[in-house]
Each structure stands twice: as C-alpha cells, then as structure tokens.
Amino acid sequence: MEKRYVEIAVISDVHLGTYGCHAKELNQYLKSIQPRILILNGDILDIWNFSKSYFPASHFKVIRRILKLVASGTQVYYITGNHDEYLRKFNDLNLGNFRILNQLSLRIHNENLWFVHGDVFDVAITHSKWLAKLGGKGYDYLIVLNRWINKILKALGKEKVSISKKVKNRVKKASMHISNFENMVCEFAASKHYQYVICGHIHEPIIKTITHNNHSVQYLNSGDWIENLTSLEYNLGQWSLYQYEQHPIEQEEIDEESAEEDFTIQQLLNKIAS
C-alpha cells in the first residue's frame, strides 16, 4: 500500500478494549499514512471499561501499528484522557520517539498550538466521575445494538442510522453541553495566547473559529473512532478533517513476531487493569 505523507495526524477517542471501537478501520487508516508527528489525543485505551476477556486481535494490531510508526521515525505523543487517566502517573515519560503527556504545546509557523484531550473542561467528568463511567458503559452497549440494527437495515436495503446521534440531537442539554465545552476550552486557550486548540473527548469532529474578548481561536476536534471515524491532518499550513471511507480491509501478511508482541501487550494491559 502506498502511504500518504502527513506532517501531523491527530486521532482521539479510539476506546481500544470496548465493543464499539472500529479498530480494523483505524488500523487501515494508520497503514495508509506516514506521519511526521502522530498525536494520540486521549482515550486511546479505554481503561475505565477494560475487560481482560475482551481485547481482540484487531485491537492488538492498532497498538502494533503505532509501535511500528514509532520505530520508523514518527514522533508519537500520547496525551492522556479520562478513560486512560491511569497513564497520567507517567506524565512526561520520554522513550525516544514516544512521549506520554497530559497536554502538549507546539509552535508551528509562528503560531501557538495547544493539544489537550479536554475532559478537564467537562463538569460531568470532574464532579460525577462514577456517573460518567456508568454512561460510558451504556454508550458502548448502545453502539453494539446500533450495529446489529444497521445489519438488519442493510439486509432490507435501507440506510444506516445512528441511534446515539439521534439521541444527542434530541436532547437540548447535550447540544448546550457541547457548546459550553467548546467555549470554555477556547476561553482558556485565548487567555494563554494560543491561536489553536485541538481537542477530543466529546466525539464531535469539527474545525471552526471561536472568538472570546476579541481574541479568535481556531477550535479543532478530531472526533472519534466509535461513530465518526475521523482524524485531523495538517499539511502545508492547513488543517483538514479526514473522514474514513468504507473500503475492504486488506489482508495483512502474517507477522511471525505478532503472537509474542500480543502476549507482551496483554501482560501490560493486565497490569494496568489490576
């Protein structure tokens, strides 16, 4: 497969270890690009909902793909989110091309960019973590149910539907929550003189300008790999949203070391979950 060069690629909210994760599609996307910098902007591993009994091969492949990018020279920044907050104890861990951070500041073309997952601006997370965890479980089950419904609709020749999006769109408080989140993030970014703020967390992919006190901030959200299957890409001074298109997943060559690598990764995950 011919790879596309990307200066910066940003993915977030993958939720490896949950039923809703589109790991096969994400692996295919990562195979198709050669980024100079890859930013994993939180909730890549879903440690909140992690189960030792569910971590399929496709999820292992995503981790191996990221490790191969590190080995090939890509600078990978892992920014922690709420679902992988366990990793925050390793803040500023530096292993060659791989770093774990709680947030990241970059200066590109004389502009200040701030990368942060965004959960610190979510009141529901900071004040009712147990409720957020419960909601995460419910969301995962809803996604699984949605997939079965879409299989039936496809067999009947009808268009797919997104139940969770319909629920979100019908709940006025949900849209207000997203708007409040975006404004809070940009207000803080403006106070720190950032021109760009790049988030995840709310699973709403978008690029837009938000102005606070006459200070305009470019707000970007990379979306997720549960429903939207999106990433952010930066090339030639421009940011764009990448939307994964459904293509047949190519069969990968058998990696003789994959079983051993998977065992090592599984041991690490078991330690994290224990």
Q: What pLDDT is recorded for position 200? A: 96
* 29-50 pLDDT tens trace: 999 999 999 999 999 999 887 7
Closest CA to 230 of 5, 6, 9: 9
**Structural contact between residues 182 and 200, judged by C-beta atoms closer than 8 angstroms:** no
- Residues of the chain above pLDDT 70, percent: 73
> Considering the entire predicted model, what is its pTM?
0.79
Closest CA to 60 of 255, 269, 265: 265
Q: What pLDDT is recorded for position 54? A: 83
pLDDT at 101 over 90: yes
Lookup: tokens for 128: 């009712």
Give the single-character DSSP code of 253: P
Beta strands 75-79; 98-101: pairing state: parallel
CA dihedral 165, 167, 171, 173 (to 10 degrees): -60
* 45-89 pLDDT tens trace: 998 877 777 899 999 999 999 999 999 999 999 999 999 999 999
Q: What pLDDT is recorded for position 168? A: 56
Q: What pLDDT is recorded for position 170? A: 53
CATH class of the domain whose range is 4-273? alpha beta
Output the DSSP codes for 192-228.
TT-SEEEE-SS---EEEEEEETTEEEEEEE---TTTT
- Residues of the chain above pLDDT 90, percent: 59
pLDDT band for position 172 (50/70/90)? very low
Annotate 247-268 with b (16+ C-beta within 10 A) or e (fewer).
eeeeeeeeeeeeeeebeebeee
Annotate 47-69 with b (16+ C-beta within 10 A) or e (fewer).
bbbbeeeebeebbbbbbbbbeeb
pLDDT band for position 249 (50/70/90)? very low
Query: 3-state SS of the chain: helix, strand, coil percent to 5?
Result: 40, 25, 35
* 104-132 pLDDT tens trace: 999 999 999 999 999 988 765 554 443 44
Where along the chain do its domains lie?
4-273
Q: What pLDDT is recorded for position 216? A: 93
* 182-231 pLDDT tens trace: 999 999 999 999 999 999 999 999 999 999 888 899 999 999 999 899 99
Q: What pLDDT is recorded for position 53? A: 74
Q: What pLDDT is recorded for position 217? A: 96
Direct distance between the N- and C-terminal alpha carbons of the chain, in angstroms, rounded to an integer: 39
3-state helix/strand/coil string of 232-249: EEEECCEEEEEECCCCCC
| Phi, psi for residue 11 in degrees, rounded to 5 | -125, 155
